[in-house]
A = this chain, B = another copy of it.
Amino acid sequence: MASQQIVLTDVESATFSNAFRLSSRSDGSTGPNLAGSESWSISKSTLRGGLSDGVDVVEIENGELSISVLPTRGMGIWKAGFRGVPIGWQSPVRQPVNPAFVNLKERNGLGWLNGFNELMCRCGLSFHGPPGMDGDSEVTLHGRIANLPAHKVVAEVCDQGDGTLSVTGTVDECSLFGPALRLESTVSTVAGSNSLTVRDRITNLGGQPTEFEILYHTNFGRPFMEDGSTLVVPVGEIAPRDSHSASCLENWDRYPAPQAGIQEEAFFFDLQAGSDGQTEVLLKNAVGNLAVSMAWQKNELPCFTLWKNPQAEADGYVTGLEPGTSLPNLKSFERDQGRLITLGPGESYECGFTLSVFDSKSAVAEASDRVASRATADAVVHAAPISKFSP
C-alpha cells in the first residue's frame, strides 16, 4: 500500500496551492493507478468574483461520483454528482458564498441563510438552531462553523484495495473567552464507488470543559425530491416540530410537487438502529429508480431531523435529512434535554455519515429493503409536538 498526501493549504507553514490537479499515472499525472477506477482525480481551484471571491473548491472525482468540497465554508459539501445525476439542490443563492460576505447577525440573526446553498453544511459547533439567547449570550441561526474557513487542507490518495480519495480540512471555532473547538473533517470516497463518507473529529482545544453540538444539514432537491418521492426511515419515534408540521404528519414520508409559498415542515425522530449500531434513511424518486441514502452510527448521532420545504423551484425546492448530536432547537432547550455533549480539555468526539446513491430499480429496492429492515419494533407516532423534542 502507498499513500500520497498533498498539503493544499496550511496557514501555519504559509502553504497555499493556487491550483492543483492530481490523477493517475496512466493519465499522465503523478498519482497512483487505482484498481477501482482509471479516471479518478483530485483538484483544487479558487473561485473569483461575486460573493464567491476567494472560495476554495476541492473536487474529488472517483470515476463515477464527483464531490465538490468547500474548505472556505467549513468543509461543507457544495454539491456532488453520480454518473451525471446532480446531488444537491438549487438555492436562491446560486454560488458558494465567501464567509467574509456573510453577516450572521443580519435579518434578526438569520444571516446564515444568505450563504446557504450546499448539499451538506454543518450546523454548530458551539451552538445551532434558531437565533436567540443562550443565557446572556447571543446565538445566531445554526452557528458559526459553516462560515469558518479551514486553515489546513490536505488531499490524499491511497491505493489500498480499490483505492481511496480524500480531503481533510481543519477548521477552528476558537476565541478568547469563547469556545476553542476544532473540527477535523475528512471527506473520502472509494474509487469507482457510489458513496462518500464524511468523518469528523471535534476536539476541545481549550483548558476547560465545553459544550458542543453538531447537525449535518444535508439537502436534496431534484431529481431525488419530486412529486411522489418517498422516504424510507426506520422510525422509532416521530413527532412534528410544531403545529403546522403536525397538520402535515400524515404525509411526512411523501413529497408533493413544488408549491409556491408553502410553509416549511419539520419532524423530529428517534430512529431504530441495527445490531451493528447503524441507522440509515433513504430518499427515492417517484418511480423508484433513483435514491440517495444516508447511514450513520446511532450512538454518534442519536438525533434525526427531517426538513421538508417543497416551495417553488425558484425559492428552493428542497428537503433536509439531518442527523445530529442534538435537534435544531435553542441551545438552552437542548441543554435541558441533555442533548449537548460536554468535552473535557483535549477531549474529542467523532461522528460522521456515509451518503450513497442508487440509480437502478433493483439497487433502489435493495437499499430500501435494507433501510426498512433497521426497524424491528413498532414506531411510536406523536400527532403533536412533544416536550422532549420541541420547546
Contacts and interface: CB of A to CB of B under 8 A. Distances in A.
Find the residue from A16, A103, A175, A345 having the highest chain B CB count within 10 A. A175
A80 to B, nearest CB: 18
A114 B173 CA distance: 9
> What number of copies of this chain does the assembly contain?
3
Interface stretch (A188-196, A200-208, A225-233, A369-377): A200-208
A180 interface: yes
Interface stretch (A43-51, A241-249, A323-331): A43-51
The contact size tier of chain A is 35 or more
A54 B149 CA distance: 13
A251 interface: no
Contact of A151 (B50, B153, B177): B50
A180 B92 contact: yes
Contact of A175 (B113, B151, B312): B113
Contacts of A94: 12, 151, 172, 174
A17 to B, nearest CB: 9
A347 B356 CA distance: 39
Interface in A127-186: 136-138, 140, 148-153, 172, 174-178, 180
B208 A315 contact: yes
Contacts of A14: 45, 47-48
Contacts of A312: 206-208, 345
B175 A92 contact: yes
B92 A149 contact: no
A95 B180 CA distance: 14
A78 B208 CA distance: 26
Given A53-B54, A113-B177, A313-B207, A16 B91 contact: no
Find the residue from A10, A16, A136, A261 having the highest chain B CB count within 10 A. A16
A79 to B, nearest CB: 13
Interface in A13-42: 14-16
Interface string A101-131: 1011111101001101100000000000000
B138 A108 contact: yes
A379 B115 CA distance: 48
23 contacts: A9-B50, A11-B49, A12-B95, A49-B149, A50-B172, A51-B149, A52-B151, A53-B149, A91-B176, A92-B174, A92-B178, A93-B174, A93-B176, A95-B151, A103-B105, A105-B105, A108-B136, A114-B178, A180-B315, A207-B258, A207-B313, A207-B314, A208-B261
Which 3 A-B pairs rank lowest in CB-CB distance, beginning with the nearest?
A: A207-B312, A50-B151, A16-B48
Interface of A: 9-12, 14-16, 45, 47-54, 56, 71-72, 91-95, 98-101, 103-108, 110, 113-114, 116-117, 136-138, 140, 148-153, 172, 174-178, 180, 205-208, 258, 260-261, 311-316, 345-346
